[in-house]
Structure formats: C-alpha cells, structure tokens
Structure 1
C-alpha cells in the first residue's frame, strides 16, 4: 500500500514538473500514414487546387476531414517509391454526401495533395 502511495505522489510530481504533453499513438498503418501526411507541411498541386475551388473546399476540410477520416488503398499505392511515397485514398463523409478519391505524396520534409476527384 505504501508503494502505491509513493508511486501516486511521484506521478503527480512528474506531471506538475513536466506539464502536459501532446502525445498520440497510431498503431494501424492507415492511421500512421494519414497522421504523417497531416503533420507535415501540405502543398497542393494546381490540378487539386482547381478541384478544391470548384467544390468550394478549403484547407481546413483537407486537414480535419480528408487526412483524418480516409481509407488508404495500399494495394494501389506506391508505398516503396523514392523519394516520395504515393498513396491513393478514399474519403466518404459520415452522412455519405461527399465521396472523394485522392492521391497524395508523403516526402521526407512535406506532403503533397496530387489529385482529387469526386466519386
């Protein structure tokens, strides 16, 4: 019992000393790839930008929806390509009104939305 009390006091001390930390852990390949693309600087090709403008979609939608709730098709993706890995993914909104296929690259320093089409 004394041991648990000491551990509890120690954990409180460590939390107060080091403060809260942003920490996320993704175990599944789909989540890891999307999280990596999300966390890097995102650039958008001219073709993809034209589509986003036509559909009235913004970068907030890209970051909050497209790169968070999509499913990657690993069989069609070029995940071993050098210098940037190319992934093909599908996004379907919760209410099933928006359905997009898109291609993006994940490079060492940044990520890039290459193309996006409506299904």
Structure 2
C-alpha cells in the first residue's frame, strides 16, 4: 500500500472520529471544575445573587461597578484560610479580585443553599 493511500485512510478515520466526538460531546452543557477555587466560584455564579445594604451603598460609589463583581466571581481567588466559615446560616467566602481600573478589591460573599449574598466590598491594601 502506497503512502498516499495510508494517509487517505488515516485522514478518513480521523475525520470520522472527530465527527463522532463532536456528536457525543456537542450538545451538552458541561464544565470541568477540578480545583476548589473554580468549583466554589462556579457554585456562587450558578445561584441567584443578592446584595446586602452595605454592598449596595458601596456600589453606589463611583470606584466600583457590578461588572467588577461579576469579573471577581469569574476570575477571582478565594482566600481559603479566611473562608468556608459558618456565618449567618451560610458559609462565608472571601474573594480577592480586581476592578476594571486594576484596583485590588476584597469581596465577602455568603453562600446559602439556594442563593448567594454579597456581604461587603473593600479595597485591598
């Protein structure tokens, strides 16, 4: 068998395999969150999100926006030394992130069973 024939069979099999993989895994809304930081942030984003009065008053100031909070919940780092603490019948998570203006912030979120509440927003030192 010539090399060109072997290459053609290989490429045909590769295309059939790619279509099969795309068909099996295509329509599913799956995500792979292996690390604890990614799992907690995904859990917080999947729940209805509420703001406390303190957080709402900070959001009315001009230095931070709800987009910054969303980015922090997407790309932030959880301080596990100060997090996962029982607090007001939920668990408190301290998340470090940055604003659009590259200013470091610390966000405290209470994770309840059916909702997440933004407790406070502070500027990092």
For residues 12 and 92 of structure 1, do their structure 2 counterparts lie closer, same or farther at Cα, with a shift above 3 Å needed?
same
Q: Which residues of 2 match residues 1-119 of structure 1 at below 5 A?
A: 20-55=27-62, 57-63=64-70, 65-77=71-83, 79-81=84-86, 83-92=89-98, 97-119=102-124
- What do you get for the CA RMSD once the two structures are aligned? 2.9
Distance 1:80 1:57 in 2: 26
Count of equivalent residues = 114
Question: Which of the pair has more CA radius of gyration?
Answer: 2
Highest relative contact order (Cα 8 Å, sep 6+), 1 or 2?
1
TM-score between the two structures when normalised by the length of structure 1:
0.75
**Offset from partner CA, 1:38-87 (integer Å, 9 cap, x none):** 11000001111111120354434322x0101111111111x152631101
Other structure's SS at 2:34 match:
coil
Q: Which runs of 5+ in 1 are unaligned?
A: none
